[in-house]
Chain A
């Protein structure tokens, strides 16, 4: 159990366009979902935390108008990169906490590789 999927797994888009990435918890309900960005050979940078039905909480330095997060249900969160630029190219990973867990470990999706040309 505790499987998280992401779609798409990779995407190439042109500069100025918008890209939506989906994150789903397949076999559990997620209390909270997280969006991370990972640069090559670097750690995960937490971008935002979202709870179902409420606005996402963005980390300092993350533009909320550029990285739109929608958490429509207990199993689905989406990240939309608006007006993408080459510097937005990165590996985006989502994770989720189980609603019924007491250890608060996060279950991670497989990641989405975004390349902006």
Chain B
């Protein structure tokens, strides 16, 4: 089955850019998502990209997809303390049921 990998932690200074990386194994993956989870809460869909796209930008968020390397990244510009959370990469294919990575804890310090 699909395997989705993310680094577990990322620490950045407020105002810098954050880049969270994700790799996956199934080349037939169609939909790729980024979710944010704040402490004690459910997951909030931040953005998604289709496999036929290379890049998607939505305000401070930029998603880059390298299909050849099966690599997805989420860049957060001008990171704020309110961005501190766990970010999950999720990938789905024909079944439309996504496989989630373990999540990257983003810590933003002043």
Overall SS of chain B's interface: strand
What total of A-B pairs shows CB separation below 8 Å? 46
B88 pairs with A106, CB closer than 8 A = no
Find residues 74-110 in chain B having any chain A CB closer than 8 Å to their own CB: 88, 92, 96-98, 100-103, 105
Count of B interface residues, CB-CB < 8 Å: 20
Bound-complex Cα distance A104 to B92 (A)? 9
Binds A, one of B13-21, B39-47, B58-66: B39-47
- A104 CB contacts on chain B under 8 angstroms: 31, 92, 96
Q: Is the CB of B31 within 8 A of A43?
A: no
Assuming the contacts A43-B103, A44-B88, A103-B31, asked whether A108 and B96 have C-beta atoms less than 8 A apart, the reply is: no
The answer on a CB contact under 8 Å between B102 and A34 is no
Question: What is the predominant secondary structure among interface residues of chain A facing chain B?
Answer: strand
Pair A111/B42 contact, Cβ less than 8 Å: yes
CB neighbours (8 Å) of B96 from chain A are 97, 104
Report whether A111 and B40 are in contact in the complex, using a CB–CB cutoff of 8 Å.
yes
Please state if B42 and A108 are interface contacts (CB–CB under 8 Å): yes
Give CA–CA (A106, B42) in the complex, Å: 11
Asked if residues A43 and B40 are in contact (CB atoms below 8 Å), the reply is no
Interface string of B32-70 (1 = CB under 8 A from A): 010100001111110010000000000000000000000
Q: Mind listing 8 A-B residue pairs with CB under 8 Å?
A: A4-B42, A6-B42, A43-B103, A44-B100, A93-B42, A93-B43, A97-B96, A106-B98
Give the interface of B toward A (CB within 8 A): 31, 33, 35, 40-45, 48, 88, 92, 96-98, 100-103, 105
